[in-house]
Chains A and B, each alone.
Chain A
């Protein structure tokens, strides 16, 4: 096994053993730093093409290059001209032709590794102060690392995307003044917002086991002054999973709850959403 084969394998092994308890955003930075160390590059960084006006440096080593904004158009043109293949610069082009002059000043050699992902394309740049030969073994190593980097980038982007979605919808659902309770038909998961947790006397909002939610809702229903009416409506409601109800009155001792119960059915999830107003 050649030195470059060993380095490629080392990269795959180390990134596969990544500690999942660490924050996902550091996974990519760790991986880029590892590429830098294994290839003995002097600079390594990611450039993300964020929108039509913005290409931004991230996960840079050295870190002072982070957040530099570049113009994406010349970068896109270069990538298209090279068919999105890895670009090997044994010599850095003159400043007027070097679209990465902000991050590659005074370097001798560099490689640009495009990593196609959706929605934003990225590229990894490695630079060396000393001229590099880029022998065939090295090229093969870089292409292996490129495939693994694409997986890492996709995993990081998806994780961060879902984190943002979760934060946004949690904020929205906790702000709604009604008590919301969602019980998943899978029997393993349920969710309540802040108002729902308070109404049901739960320790806190968020994920809850359906069994706990059902118990708490039964206790709430049993405290109602019109349990017989509630029971009658419930028999009708649960006669079919497609049934729904709104303006269902639960008369409590000190207040009246207006209850809705709606089936939620999508390809990914099915359950019932309870709304207490």
Chain B
């Protein structure tokens, strides 16, 4: 399997730079979602962009329901990418689920990633009444979400995109997200969404051995503030910053704030 083709990898920026930034997009979008962020780092860093299998322009022939029924398959993909490019001094910037994917890669492959940035990430989306954990979703909400996805995927994508994007004064952002979601094959989207919304990696947080930055936005439908507080409290070497924007996509809605947060960490 050609990893470059599988993940539609693009290497940009300063290819002589000693440090590499690997950007990994979240569910329903692709590497172009970082287009407003990348220019700020192109001069000083080598930048790696890719599409997760099942999304963007990744090779659909590589999609295996077995490999991607949990996010561990995506964590292995990240290791494949870093090994294939033979890159060192890697800072991994993962949006949403990709933050947890990068975290797993850093645990399964020690030394491969040096620093981790979790942008709107969550170790578990489902509330857990046993220990009072707030993930943001209860069982009813997730059951309803999947009923809606399975019933009429395109209608669900349209509605969900508005809720997740917020920024109602700029409806083109939600429209673009809806369009990106609708481009995914529904069976693939539903399988991947199940892998995401039912994940639970809270026990892995303590195993993170690298410096970690958590970036939190206000009013994020997928990741309430308690989740980023939980991350900060449970990842050993972690700090947290809040960016002044609403929604689940701060790198799209408030790129300058995200750039500043990343720069403060590098």
Contact = CB atoms under 8 A, between A and B. Distances in A.
Interface in B193-250: 203-204, 207
B182 to A, nearest CB: 26
Interface string A49-89: 01111101000000010011111010000000000000000
A50 B70 contact: no
Given A69-B72, A69-B76, A73-B1, A101 B66 contact: no
Interface in B57-108: 62, 64, 66-67, 70, 72-73, 75-76, 80, 108
A50 B64 CA distance: 10
Given A67-B72, A69-B75, A73-B1, A53 B67 contact: yes
Interface string B170-208: 000000000000000000000000000000000110010
B62 A53 contact: yes
Contacts of B75: 69
A175 B203 CA distance: 40
Given A64-B203, A69-B75, A53 B70 contact: no
A51 B69 CA distance: 13
Contacts of A102: 76, 108-109
Query: What size tier do the contact residues of chain A reach?
Result: 10 to 19
Contact of A69 (B67, B110, B203): B67
A206 interface: no
Interface string A12-54: 0000000000000000000000000000000000000011111
A204 interface: no
A51 B110 contact: no
A67 B70 contact: yes
A101 B109 contact: yes
Given A64-B203, A69-B76, A71-B76, A53 B110 contact: no
B108 A54 contact: no
A53 B72 CA distance: 13
A71 B72 CA distance: 11
A54 B80 contact: no
Contacts of B70: 67, 69
A105 B79 CA distance: 15
B108 A68 contact: yes
A105 B110 contact: yes
A40 B76 CA distance: 29
Contacts of A73: 1
A174 to B, nearest CB: 20
A48 to B, nearest CB: 9
A73 B73 CA distance: 14
A51 B109 contact: no
| Residue of A52, A64, A69, A102 ringed by the most chain B CB atoms within 10 A | A69
Given A51-B64, A67-B70, A68-B108, 16 more contacts: A50-B66, A50-B67, A53-B1, A53-B62, A53-B73, A54-B64, A54-B66, A56-B72, A64-B207, A69-B67, A69-B72, A69-B73, A69-B76, A71-B76, A102-B108, A102-B109
**3 closest A-B pairs (Cβ-Cβ)?**
A53-B64, A54-B67, A54-B66
10 contacts: A50-B66, A50-B67, A52-B64, A54-B73, A64-B203, A64-B204, A68-B76, A69-B70, A71-B76, A71-B80
